[in-house]
């Protein structure tokens, strides 16, 4: 396993050979979790692609070692439990060591969520190395608490006597008079301004970086094929379903509120042509849904429509009655004044 002459390209080739040699085994074990093996092998053959679970499992047999996978507890869902696991070589191979990897992202958590629709997901992993510390005693070290208390000679009843003079260390927070001068205060003020300036620059750089990421994502989407678009939308749809299953009621209300505000903003700024196109799409979608609905769904829809209509009519009746009463009161009050 510890062979510095092995290159990443060689490991990639040997991994592909291992997956093809034992294709049935890997398909039976992991295809239901990761996906089809043949598509994964096609991805492995492309340069500059990130490794996935198939490569990790196959590398156990290639390197003849255990691989411990650690996944951070960020947006963790049940189907990700397999990423927190120890993968071992397939018998009769025996492991001669262990490698630990940690899944992470090249960006910090906030930026990674910003470029992935608010969801954190890793884009690579790094090795975790054990840190060994040799604790050797240093005989030359003498603690400061072991220093002797100074003594002083004095005379009591004409007899020389040794008395101790306690020493109290100066407080580390105590400022000497020589430290308090205008030059120091000016230096501190300049340092504070420089720190604030660096923070502002960092914030500006972060905004610029996020804007570039968004432009890059928009550019990729404009150049993607219809098949790539369908795959991306399908993945996004599945991710949204999983997120909605685990979200709290507060998160759900916040999400719905954001959706309503975004919809209202879009409708306020849309042109008449865009509005007509949207209404046409809504009508077509409604007709398509009604054509494909079952009898039970149809009855439920009609019942909801009736209830909504009755509620609206009750409210408008109450409103008209209220206006009528107000008008009568005004007429009566005017007569009384006369």
Q: Are residues 123 and 14 in the same domain?
A: yes
Q: What is the pLDDT of residues 192-209, one digit of tens each?
A: 666 666 667 777 787 888
In a domain, 295, yes or no: no
Residue 39 included in any domain:
yes
DSSP designation for 65: S
- % residues pLDDT > 70 (the chain): 72
* CB distance 68 to 99 below 8 Å: yes
Report the CATH number that the domain containing residue 103 is assigned in CATH.
Answer: 3.90.70.80
Say if 191 falls within a structural domain: no
Inside any domain, residue 83: yes
Beta bridge partners of 70: 102
- Residue 120's φ and ψ, nearest 5 degrees, are -90, 130
Q: Read off the pTM.
A: 0.39
Q: Is the pLDDT of residue 18 over 50?
A: yes
- Give the residue carrying structure tokens 């490698």: 99
Q: What is the pLDDT of residues 246-262, one digit of tens each?
A: 778 888 888 889 888 88
Residue 251 forms part of a structural domain? yes
Contact call for residues 128 and 101 (beta carbons, < 8 A): yes
**Are 89 and 45 contacting, i.e. CB atoms less than 8 angstroms apart?**
no
Q: 64: phi > 0 → left, psi -120 to 50 → alpha, else beta; which?
A: left
Say if CB 31 and CB 40 are below 8 A apart.
no
Contact predicate 179/162, CB 8 Å: no
Rounded Cα distance, 18 and 58, in Å: 6
Q: Total structural domains in the chain?
A: 2
Domain that holds residue 269: 227-275
Among residues 98, 128, 158, which one ends one of the domains? 128
pLDDT of residue 66: 92
Which string of DSSP letters, residue by residue, matches 101-165?
Answer: EEEE-SS-HHHHHHTTTT----SEEEEE----------TT---GGGPPPPEEEEEETTEEEEEE-
Instruction: Kindly state whether residue 106 falls inside one of the protein's structural domains.
Output: yes
Which one of 105, 128, 151 terminates a domain?
A: 128
Per-residue pLDDT of 66-84, as tens digits, reads: 999 888 888 777 767 778 8
Final residue in a domain of this structure, among 96, 128, 160: 128
Say what the pLDDT of residue 143 is: 44
Please indicate, yes or no, if residue 248 is contained in any of the structural domains: yes
Query: Could you tell me if residue 203 is inside a domain?
Result: no
pLDDT of residue 160: 54
In Å, the largest CA–CA distance within the chain is 119
């Amino acid at each position: 396993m510890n062979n510095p002459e092995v290159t990443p390209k060689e490991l990639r080739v040997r991994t592909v050979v291992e997956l093809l040699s034992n294709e049935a085994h890997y398909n039976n074990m992991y295809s239901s979790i990761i996906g089809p093996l043949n598509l994964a092998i096609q991805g492995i053959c492309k340069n500059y692609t990130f490794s996935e679970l198939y490569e990790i499992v196959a590398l156990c047999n290639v390197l003849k070692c255990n691989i411990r996978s650690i996944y951070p507890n960020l947006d963790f869902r049940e189907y990700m439990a397999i990423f927190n696991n120890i993968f071992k070589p397939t018998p009769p191979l025996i492991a001669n060591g262990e490698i630990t990897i940690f899944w992470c992202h090249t960006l910090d958590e906030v930026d990674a969520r910003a470029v992935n629709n608010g969801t954190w997901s890793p884009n690579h992993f790094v090795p975790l190395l054990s840190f060994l510390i040799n604790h050797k005693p240093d005989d030359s070290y003498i603690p400061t608490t072991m220093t002797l208390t100074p003594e002083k000679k004095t005379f009591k009843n004409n007899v020389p006597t040794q008395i101790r003079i306690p020493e109290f260390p100066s407080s580390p927070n105590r400022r000497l008079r020589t430290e308090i001068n205008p030059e120091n205060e000016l230096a501190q003020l300049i340092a504070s301004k420089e720190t604030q300036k660096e923070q502002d620059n960092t914030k500006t750089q972060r905004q610029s970086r996020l804007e570039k990421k968004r432009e890059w994502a928009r550019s990729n989407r404009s150049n993607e094929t219809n098949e790539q678009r369908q795959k991306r939308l399908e993945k996004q749809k599945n991710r949204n379903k999983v997120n909605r299953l685990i979200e709290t009621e507060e998160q759900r209300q916040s999400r719905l509120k954001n959706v309503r505000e975004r919809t209202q903003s879009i409708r306020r700024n849309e042109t008449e042509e865009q509005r007509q196109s949207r209404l046409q799409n809504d009508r077509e979608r409604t007709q398509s849904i009604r054509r494909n609905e079952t009898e039970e769904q149809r009855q439920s829809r009609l019942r909801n429509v009736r209830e909504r209509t009755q509620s609206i009519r009750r409210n408008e009746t109450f409103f008209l009655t209220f206006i009528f009463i107000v008008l009568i009161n005004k007429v009566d009050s005017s007569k009384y004044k006369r």
